[in-house]
């Protein structure tokens, strides 16, 4: 193994359009493994109020010129550019104490989160500047006054204060949803590992992909940053509960009702089901997962397993199996590729972890402690396994977080008791239960859920594809109640919405439609001589409408459809049985026959700009159709979303099928792909 000579960098902050050093001599940041200086950091004398104003004015304005899809595509391009540079980040990441595997979570996991948000936003959000949420609420009998929830980007800035353990992922998983929402960001990484974040921000800005003002960086102490927030800003904090609670009470945050989201530490638990014996695959899976969670990133993970909750009879077997795995670890400088566990982030962290182990020892006996066994210049610590004999009465083992490779084994006698033990963490990011018994899974998960943001069930079937206890995923909630901070950082498009204001807009349907860019039922439609299916996206307008001719449904039609499809359900085929049914007065037409006849009425058959029908949404049958009823259709272009990267786009049509009495029979959205251009 060779120690790589490192150039000591003076970290700078990127604020108000320029890279700026602090005014004082910087505090040295040391390589976690070698103790050699890596960088110095200082933020004194920087004008943070000016930076916030600059971000809001410049970055916000530029971002809001774009649609959700444009911003999402911008992130995809950025993620690709960062992936091309990943080796640069891996090299820098070693100094934080991360092995290559640890670095993968931080670097590629972070970039992957950006990719995931980009594609999710383009699939689940419209290519517009306003996000329409939920259905239109009818607020009047005559359909002249309606309501609709819309979300628009906040006009402020997102301040992201991050923890030291994920200098890349911590930044990327937060800026992705904020930028998609259209809100500029100012990132404040934890000082200890800020050199890696700084390097990545330099690369991000050098690509020129983000508009000026969209991303700023503060390296060093936060100073008076949070004192300047407004009610349009968002502050997200990831770190220790103590700092988070202090920030939450900041005067400006309280006075302006600034959105504040906190992801704090938590004492995550893993439960071994009472059904599992050492011979079952779930036993090995459990032990493997616990060992991994205790040692990945040397246990410096917010989701790491701290409490290992095991049936009383299995305590010894689990302890021995864990010990075997800990004994196989190679602890050392992560630049050596035989090393499987690196050091903690700093010598201070080693001291901190030692102090917390001492706290835990008040209630738990030491079962084993692997030697760190490497140079005293580095921040090395070996895994520590404790055992708490009476965890229901204990407090410290459920509340003291040793942010390192430390876990406490605790016995339980019933599932109910195991669940109660997980609750004693007072709210955690994640818990897992390893069982192959559906009854145990149900009891444990429903019992633990109110105290957790995520619960993972491990068993033999999911083992080959499971993403594991410790991995927050972009599409699922990351955050937990109570002690864990009460925030929800990730969770699909939900986290994009954290950066937008939800507003209930009320008014006449056609004016609501003008606001949302959607045609709303009750608005006038526009009919002309051309069938709307003959119009490309260049010509089609929201509100273009077709009212079809009519078709009478006969008993022959119903019987023909029944025989042809095989759907001979009694309500279509047997008059007496249909009459006994509480909803029908006699034989009724199939719902799918109505939908098929509707298509027959509204479709224009010739080759044209409508390329495909890819589904229907919200299909409802409202009035039964009997033989002799006459159907007609009103089809209206409701929403038009051209794709940026294709020569077609989606068109959503409102399809209203009614009978001879003008009663609505069925209503649904028809989803089509339509060419952007088509020769006349
Ligand atoms: P920390 O000491 O609370 O620091 C977190 C962040 O807050 C750092 O950027 C820190 O900056 C900043 N900070 C400190 N004082 C501040 C103030 N007065 N005003 C504004 N910002 C301030 O936590 P840490 O030691 O970096 O992180 C370890 C903890 O984070 C662990 O407890 C872990 O469980 C938790 N964590 C939670 C999650 C999660 O998702 N829930 C993820 C990772 C870590 P400086 O570094 O410059 O002081």
Annotate 128-170 with DSSP letters as a single string.
SSSEEEEEEEE-STTSS-EEEEEEEE-SS-EEEE--SS-TTHH
Position 377 scores a pLDDT of 83
Q: What is the mean pLDDT, run by run of 10 residues, along the chain of 680 residues?
A: 64 98 96 95 98 98 97 98 98 96 96 97 92 92 93 98 97 98 98 98 98 98 97 96 93 97 93 97 98 96 96 97 95 93 93 96 92 80 96 97 97 98 97 98 98 97 94 92 89 94 96 93 91 96 96 98 98 96 95 98 96 96 97 97 92 97 97 93
Position 600 scores a pLDDT of 97
Same-domain status, 50 and 134: yes
Residue whose entry in the numeric block shows the structure tokens 């299909």 = 619
User: Looking at ligand 1, which residue's alpha carbon is closest to its atom 10?
Assistant: 190
Position 644 scores a pLDDT of 87
Any atom of ligand 1 within 6 Å of the Cβ of 263 = yes
Position 41 scores a pLDDT of 98
Ligand 1 centroid distance, CA of 238 (Å)? 6
Same-domain status, 395 and 530: no
User: Looking at ligand 1, which residue's alpha carbon is closest to its atom 35?
Assistant: 239
Contacts 24+ apart (CB under 8 A), 368-377: 368/319, 368/323, 368/326, 370/326, 370/327, 370/329, 370/331, 372/331, 372/343, 373/331, 374/331, 374/332, 374/333, 374/343, 375/34, 375/35, 377/34, 377/35, 377/36
Can you say whether the dihedral through the CA atoms of 564, 569, 572, 575 is positive or negative? positive
Instruction: Point out the domain boundary residue: 245, 263, 281.
Output: 263
Same-domain status, 253 and 296: no
Position 1 scores a pLDDT of 40
Same-domain status, 232 and 307: no
Q: How far is CA 477 from CA 328, 455, 633, 672, in A?
A: 34, 10, 42, 32
Ligand 1 centroid distance, CA of 344 (Å)? 15
Same-domain status, 58 and 202: yes
Any atom of ligand 1 within 6 Å of the Cβ of 260 = no
Are 473 and 498 in contact by the 8 Å Cβ rule? The answer is no
Domain that holds residue 242: 44-263
Position 435 scores a pLDDT of 98
Any atom of ligand 1 within 6 Å of the Cβ of 428 = no
Instruction: Point out the domain boundary residue: 467, 491, 515.
Output: 467
Are 481 and 308 in contact by the 8 Å Cβ rule? The answer is no
| Alpha helices for 188-280 (secondary structure H) | 194-207, 241-248, 251-255
Return the ∠ at Cα 428 (arms to 425 and 433), rounded to 5°.
90
Identify the CATH number of the domain in which residue 643 sits: 3.10.129.10
Any atom of ligand 1 within 6 Å of the Cβ of 247 = yes
In a domain, 12, yes or no: no
Same-domain status, 243 and 299: no
Are 27 and 40 in contact by the 8 Å Cβ rule? The answer is yes
How many domains would you assign to the chain? 3
Ligand 1 centroid distance, CA of 161 (Å)? 7
Position 6 scores a pLDDT of 57
Contacts of 625 (CB under 8 A, 6+ apart): 553, 588, 589, 594, 631, 659, 665
Position 143 scores a pLDDT of 86
Is the whole-model pTM more than 0.75?
yes
Same-domain status, 76 and 215: yes
Q: Which helix (H) or strand (E) holds 92?
A: helix 86-93
Our mutation pick for probing the ligand 1 site, out of 163, 241, 264, 348, counting the most ligand atoms within 8 A of Cβ, is 163
533-543 pLDDT tens trace:
999 999 999 99
In a domain, 519, yes or no: no
Any atom of ligand 1 within 6 Å of the Cβ of 268 = no
Ligand 1 centroid distance, CA of 11 (Å)? 19
Position 679 scores a pLDDT of 86
Ligand 1 centroid distance, CA of 185 (Å)? 18
In a domain, 394, yes or no: yes
Any atom of ligand 1 within 6 Å of the Cβ of 173 = no
Same-domain status, 288 and 200: no
Instruction: Point out the domain boundary residue: 215, 238, 263.
Output: 263
Residues acting as catalytic residues: 263, 302
Any atom of ligand 1 within 6 Å of the Cβ of 286 = no
Our mutation pick for probing the ligand 1 site, out of 27, 190, 241, counting the most ligand atoms within 8 A of Cβ, is 190
Position 132 scores a pLDDT of 94
Distance of CA 576 to the CA centre of its chain: 53
Position 4 scores a pLDDT of 46
Position 487 scores a pLDDT of 84
Burial of 143 (0-12, 13-18, 19+ CB in 10 A): middle
In a domain, 28, yes or no: no
Query: Helix 169-181 vs helix 100-124: angle between axes, to the nearest 10 degrees?
Result: 10
Query: What does the alpha-carbon distance between residue 320 and residue 457 come to, in Å, rounded to a whole number?
Result: 23
Position 260 scores a pLDDT of 96
Identify the CATH number of the domain in which residue 353 sits: 3.40.309.10
Any atom of ligand 1 within 6 Å of the Cβ of 264 = yes
Give exposure, 253-262, as e/b (b: 16+ Cβ within 10 Å): beeeebbbbb
In a domain, 19, yes or no: no
Any atom of ligand 1 within 6 Å of the Cβ of 443 = no
Identify the CATH number of the domain in which residue 208 sits: 3.40.605.10
Same-domain status, 297 and 232: no
Same-domain status, 376 and 451: yes
Same-domain status, 361 and 297: yes
In a domain, 31, yes or no: no
12-22 pLDDT tens trace:
999 999 999 99
Are 460 and 434 in contact by the 8 Å Cβ rule? The answer is no
Ligand 1 centroid distance, CA of 222 (Å)? 11
Q: How far is CA 567 from CA 571, 574, 615, in A?
A: 10, 13, 21
User: Looking at ligand 1, which residue's alpha carbon is closest to its atom 14?
Assistant: 243
In a domain, 67, yes or no: yes
Position 2 scores a pLDDT of 39
Same-domain status, 179 and 312: no
């Amino acid at each position: 193994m060779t120690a790589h000579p490192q150039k000591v960098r003076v970290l700078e902050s990127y604020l108000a359009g320029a890279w700026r050093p602090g005014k004082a001599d910087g505090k040295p940041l040391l390589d976690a493994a070698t103790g050699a200086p890596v960088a110095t950091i200082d933020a004194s004398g920087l004008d943070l109020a000016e930076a916030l104003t600059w971000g809001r004015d410049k970055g916000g304005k530029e971002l809001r010129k774009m649609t959700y899809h444009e911003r999402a595509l911008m992130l995809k391009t950025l993620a690709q550019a960062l992936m091309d540079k990943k080796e640069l980040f891996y090299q820098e990441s070693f100094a934080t104490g991360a092995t290559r595997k640890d670095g993968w979570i931080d670097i590629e996991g972070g970039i992957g989160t950006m990719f995931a948000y980009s594609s999710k936003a383009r699939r689940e959000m419209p290519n517009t500047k306003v996000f329409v949420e939920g259905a239109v609420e009818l607020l009047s009998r005559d359909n002249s006054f309606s309501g609709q929830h819309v979300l628009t980007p906040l006009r402020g800035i997102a301040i992201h204060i991050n923890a030291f353990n994920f200098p890349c992922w911590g930044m990327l998983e937060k800026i992705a949803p904020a930028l998609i929402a259209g809100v500029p960001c100012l990132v404040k990484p934890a000082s200890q590992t800020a050199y890696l974040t700084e390097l990545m921000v330099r690369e991000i800005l050098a690509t020129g992909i983000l508009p000026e003002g969209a991303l700023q960086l503060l390296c060093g102490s936060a100073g008076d940053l949070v004192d300047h927030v407004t009610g349009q800003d968002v502050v997200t904090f990831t770190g220790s509960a103590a700092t988070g609670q202090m920030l939450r009470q900041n005067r400006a945050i309280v006075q302006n009702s600034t959105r504040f989201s906190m992801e704090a530490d938590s004492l995550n638990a893993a439960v071994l089901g009472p059904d599992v014996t050492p011979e079952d695959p779930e036993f090995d899976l459990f032990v493997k997962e616990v060992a991994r969670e205790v040692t990945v990133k040397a246990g410096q993970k917010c989701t790491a397993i701290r409490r290992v909750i095991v049936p009383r009879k299995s305590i010894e077997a689990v302890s021995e199996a864990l010990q075997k795995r800990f004994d196989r670890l190679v602890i050392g400088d992560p630049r050596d590729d035989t090393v499987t566990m690196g050091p903690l982030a700093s010598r201070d962290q080693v001291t901190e972890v030692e102090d917390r182990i001492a706290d835990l020892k008040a209630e738990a006996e030491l079962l084993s402690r692997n030697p760190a066994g490497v140079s005293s210049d580095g921040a090395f610590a070996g895994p520590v396994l404790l055992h708490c004999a009476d965890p229901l009465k204990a407090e410290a083992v459920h509340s003291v977080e040793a942010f390192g490779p430390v876990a406490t084994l605790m016995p339980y006698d019933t599932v109910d008791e195991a669940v109660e033990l997980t609750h004693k963490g007072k709210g955690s990011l994640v818990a897992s239960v390893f069982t192959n018994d559906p009854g145990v899974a149900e009891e444990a998960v429903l019992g633990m859920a109110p105290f957790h943001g995520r619960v993972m069930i491990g068993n033999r079937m999911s083992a080959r594809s499971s993403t594991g206890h410790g991995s927050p995923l972009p599409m699922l909630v990351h955050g937990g109640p109570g002690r864990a901070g009460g925030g929800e950082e990730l969770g699909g498009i939900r986290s994009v919405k954290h950066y937008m204001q939800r507003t209930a807009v009320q008014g006449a349907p056609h004016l609501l439609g003008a606001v949302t860019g959607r045609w709303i039922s009750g608005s006038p439609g526009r009919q002309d001589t051309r069938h709307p299916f003959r119009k490309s996206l260049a010509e089609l307008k929201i509100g273009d409408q077709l009212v079809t001719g009519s078709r009478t449904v006969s008993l022959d039609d119903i019987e023909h459809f029944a025989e042809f499809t095989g759907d001979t359900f009694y309500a279509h085929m047997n008059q007496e049985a249909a009459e006994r049914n509480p909803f029908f007065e006699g034989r009724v037409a199939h719902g799918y026959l109505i939908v098929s006849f509707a298509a027959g009425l509204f479709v224009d058959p010739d080759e044209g700009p409508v390329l495909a029908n890819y589904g229907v949404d919200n299909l409802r049958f409202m009035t039964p159709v009997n033989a002799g009823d006459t159907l007609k259709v009103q089809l209206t272009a409701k929403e038009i979303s051209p794709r940026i990267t294709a020569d077609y786009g989606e068109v959503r049509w409102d399809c209203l099928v009614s009978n001879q009495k003008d009663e609505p029979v069925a209503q649904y959205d028809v989803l089509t792909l339509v060419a952007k251009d088509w020769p006349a």
